[in-house]
Amino acid sequence: MSGLDDLTREELKALVLSLHETVTKQQETIKVLEARVAELEAEVAELRAKLGGGSGSGTPDWVKPNRKQRRAAEREERKKRKHSFTRKRETPTEIVEHAVDVCSDCGRKLSGGWVAKTRQVIEIPEVPIRVIEHRAIARKCGVCGKTHIAKIDLSGQVVGKMRFGVKLMSLVAELRTVCRMPVKQIQGLLKTLCGVHISVGELSEMLHTTAKAGEEMYLKLRDEIRGSPVVNADETGWRQDGVNGYIWSFSTPQTRYFVYNRSRASDVPKEVLGDGWSGRLVCDFYSAYGVLNVVCQRCWVHLLRDLKKLKEKHEEKTDVAAWVDAVANVYERAKEFENEIPKFRLEAKMAFERELMALALPYLGKKKPQSVLAGRIEKFLAELFVFVEEPEVPSDNNAAERSVRPSVIARKISGGTRSEKGSKTRMILMSLFGTWKLRNLETISECRKLLAAC
């Protein structure tokens, strides 16, 4: 029974009227909501159109679509890696075992067991400095009465009368040359790690002794530079005792040679390369290289960098941008040129020179933004495409730029050297360590070998 059977006729009429009134109100509310929904749909469509998604997809055009899930067959066809890229475990030098001795539930003693999991921790040891005292024992013969004193032979362990071993000296040279640490910082590091105090003067003497041991190799590096058919050269500023000077860098794919000189004139590369050197010198547009009686390849990276600055400075002028792009296009096509026949390479070189000169000619001697670089092109035209005729010659001077970069950083840290002896030591060590690093050798090990051979 629903309970309606107990209602009277009048009560049923009143109930029906009440329900009818409720339904009428709900129908009016539905109409209002439908109108509101229509307004919101129109607003959403308008916003989608503004965002570029007017296609009705619900996603703006600039939103990347979801990547499709690959099927299982496609995943199986994926090329397998040669090896995993997880962190490799080191060979342990010490093993510490962790085991529970007593059962936590019943208290019974535990023994034996197996390795459930491992964890490696790589740590440096706390090793104090070794002070080794060598004692020469004197012994007297009981028959003839002659006294015999053992000779202390420390060859391979120390250099001359130095009281420091070759390992320590190599470490100091490495920190000073490769890590570019100031001497006082090296002093503090050795005090902290090894517990030894070495004066600044003794550290400097270590560096001088190491450089003296490498003088012969330093001269051999110069001979290798002189014997190379292609040499990259560059120079950077360096102060000695507060006076401005220059570090000159000469590089090949296997050798780096540095020399300090107060002068920035052409006498320095003349002296380093020697009389009669007939190789190819890769350099920037510094005029000192132009007076040398050698064939130069001027660095295109320097020229392209200046072209880019010109384009940015006159970005509102379309003719400047077009000229810059045309010059860069000539270089790009010259870089892509490949031919093994010397005759064709020479012809291509001359063709590129004519094309580049044709671009520079309209701006020579005129007050145009392109005039300065056009004049440079005219002046160095014969030295811009040597790399086309001779493929072993690089078109840029990046090798020399990379070689002097550590010197620039060292100059910013220390400000330079204090004496002629300090400058010479710096040049020798930079040449030796730079060459070892260029040849993928362990620099500190090579330094130890050098000192041990003294």
Sign of the CA dihedral with 114 first, then 118, 120, and 121 last = negative
Q: What is the pLDDT along the chain (454 residues), one digit of tens a residue?
A: 556 677 788 878 888 888 888 888 899 999 999 999 999 999 888 887 777 654 555 566 666 777 766 666 566 666 676 666 677 888 999 999 999 999 988 889 999 899 999 999 988 888 788 899 999 999 999 899 899 999 999 889 999 888 999 999 999 999 999 999 999 999 999 999 888 999 999 999 999 999 999 999 999 999 999 999 999 999 999 999 999 999 999 999 999 999 999 999 999 999 999 988 999 999 999 999 988 889 999 999 999 999 999 999 998 999 999 999 999 999 999 999 988 888 899 999 999 999 999 999 999 988 999 999 999 999 999 999 999 999 999 999 999 999 999 999 999 988 899 999 999 999 999 999 999 999 999 999 999 999 999 8
Give the per-residue pLDDT at 396: 94
Number of structural domains, the chain?
1
Query: Is 111 within the bounds of a domain?
Result: no
Q: Give the C-alpha separation, 230 to 396, whole Å.
A: 12
Give the per-residue pLDDT at 235: 95
Q: Give the C-alpha separation, 387 to 393, whole Å.
A: 5
Strands 280-283 and 295-298, bridge-based pairing:
parallel
Contacts of 415 by beta carbon, 8 Å cutoff, 6+ apart: 239
Query: Is 367 within the bounds of a domain?
Result: yes
280 and 230 in contact (C-beta within 8 Å)? yes
Among 206, 133, 192, 116, which residue's Cα sits nearest to residue 164? 206
Q: Give the C-alpha separation, 407 to 237, whole Å.
A: 9
Neighbour-count burial of 236, counting CB atoms closer than 10 A to its CB (0-12 exposed, 13-18 middle, 19+ buried): middle
Single-letter amino acid code for the residue at 82: K
The pTM of the full predicted model, rounded to 2 decimals, is: 0.75
Q: Give the C-alpha separation, 227 to 260, whole Å.
A: 21
CA 63 to chain centre: 36
Query: Is 384 within the bounds of a domain?
Result: yes
Query: Is 176 within the bounds of a domain?
Result: no
Following DSSP, what letter does each residue of 355-401 receive, concatenated? HHHHHHGGGTTSSSTTHHHHHHHHHTGGGSSHHHH-TTS-SS-HHHH
The widest CA-to-CA distance across the chain, in whole angstroms, is 154
* Residue tagged 């002046």 (tokens): 379
Give the per-residue pLDDT at 75: 60
Query: Is 334 within the bounds of a domain?
Result: yes
* Residue tagged 């220390």 (tokens): 414
Query: Is 126 within the bounds of a domain?
Result: no
Query: Is 347 within the bounds of a domain?
Result: yes
Query: Is 214 within the bounds of a domain?
Result: no
Length of the chain, please?
454
Single-letter amino acid code for the residue at 186: I
Give the per-residue pLDDT at 415: 87
The parent domain of residue 320 ranges over 300-389
